[in-house]
Amino acid sequence: MGKVIMVANDLHDQNMLVSLAVDRGPVRTRTYPHTAGGRNGMIRTVQRLAREEGAERIVHVYEASGLGFGLHDQLVDAGWESHVLAPSKISRSPKQQKDKTDEKDARDLLAVLRGHILGGNELPGIWIPDLEARDDRELVRRRLDLQDAATQARNQISSLLKRHRFVKPEAAGGNWTKGHREWLRGLVEDKEQLAWGAQTVLDSLLRQLEALEGEVQRMDEAVKQLAKVPRYAAPVAELTKEKGVGTLTAMTYLTEMGQMARFRNRRQIGAYLGLVPSCWESGEQQDRKGHITHQGPWRVRKVLCQAAWTALRLDPETQARGARMARKGKPRKKVMVAVMRKLAIRMWRTAGQAQRQAGCLATGTGP
């Protein structure tokens, strides 16, 4: 086997610290600015080293973050093997967690890569969606973020009223109905009920809420439009037949999960979504189960939770299953997790079959 240059990158907004080694050789460390010039300089330096050493492969890793996959794309175009690693799957001792520097992080990543190249250890890489799938994610995630912001604005309004001991009258109707909003607007216009500061804040929050709700409606239309394109039309049509699953839930599931074919069985679905219990075994203490792991895409868990609540209200089969678990003494949270996991598995099977039949598999790389 020819020589391999292994490169580990601790990536940040302004800079990137690179640790590299040739096979079992010494580790070299260097810092580059995280700019177009800095990335190009790193590529030239490593490629020059590859020519000097006669290396046949350049393998690069960095941890997934909010910086996206731009560096990965650039390195693949340069002919490198690039992997993006899942931080949650990289083992770190308590000492490593408390004694953390950029150089140590880069060396730890290099050790993981060396274990993979030289020892055959599994590399904790993530699935990397293609450019089209990433763009679709941006749209759906923005819609979810806007809803969270609108919910936060409503909570701030409720907290403001509680601090000033205002209780919504029964005549105003349900929360956030037309009558409720008219009552809130009346508090702003009536100069005697609220002090000037609280009145000004309430007026600001109401305007913010109205603007956010308008953006939510616009993004809803954009998500519906995206759901009609060929790569999503068939899977969305099948998924929305599930009780509690609407277009937004279906699109969140599809854009975050990507290729359904990359999952081999239902256990992998539960583990990927963090809907399985954590496990701890030591000595005589066997098979101790803890809380669910909460790993994987939290946005999928969020929409699954909302869909599960709806299914428990509307779907007789789901209601019966929940009732059976409750009779066995299962807490409500465990019932909810079980319903979410069951729904996620059904959606995986449904979406996978629709993708295969329509020939519209999302593309990407990695596990």
pLDDT tens by residue, 288-309: 677 898 888 999 999 999 999 9
Six-digit token string for 105: 């992080």
Say how far apart CA 117 and CA 237 lie, in whole Å: 43
What residues have CB less than 8 Å from 126, skipping those under 6 apart? 64, 84, 85, 86, 366, 367
Residue that wins the pLDDT comparison between 358 and 363 = 358
DSSP-derived 3-state class of residue 282: strand
Please give the average per-residue pLDDT across 356-363, as a whole number: 69
Q: Per-residue pLDDT for 53 more than 80? A: yes
Q: Note the pLDDT of residue 77.
A: 96
140-188 pLDDT, tens digit each: 999 999 999 999 999 999 999 999 999 999 999 999 999 999 999 999 9
Amino acid at 128: I
Q: By C-alpha distance, which of 288, 333, 290, 329 is closest to 312? A: 333
High-pLDDT (> 70) share of the chain, %:
95
**Which residues are 41's β-sheet partners?**
none
Cα dist from 329 to 6, 209, 278, 333, whole Å: 53, 41, 21, 12
Cα maximum dimension of the chain: 83
101-142 pLDDT, tens digit each: 999 999 999 999 999 999 999 999 999 999 999 999 999 999
Say how far apart CA 107 and CA 96 lie, in whole Å: 12
Say how far apart CA 307 and CA 316 lie, in whole Å: 14
Q: CA triplet 288, 290, 292: central angle to 5 degrees?
A: 135
Give Cα 285 distance to the centre of its chain.
33
84-109 pLDDT, tens digit each: 999 988 888 777 777 889 999 999 99
> Start-end ranges of CATH 3.30.420.40 in the chain?
4-126
pLDDT class for 278, splitting at 50, 70, 90? confident
Six-digit token string for 4: 């391999």
**Architecture of 4-126 per CATH?**
2-Layer Sandwich (3.30)
Burial class of residue 1 in the structure, from the number of CB atoms within 10 Å of its CB (0-12 exposed, 13-18 middle, 19+ buried): exposed
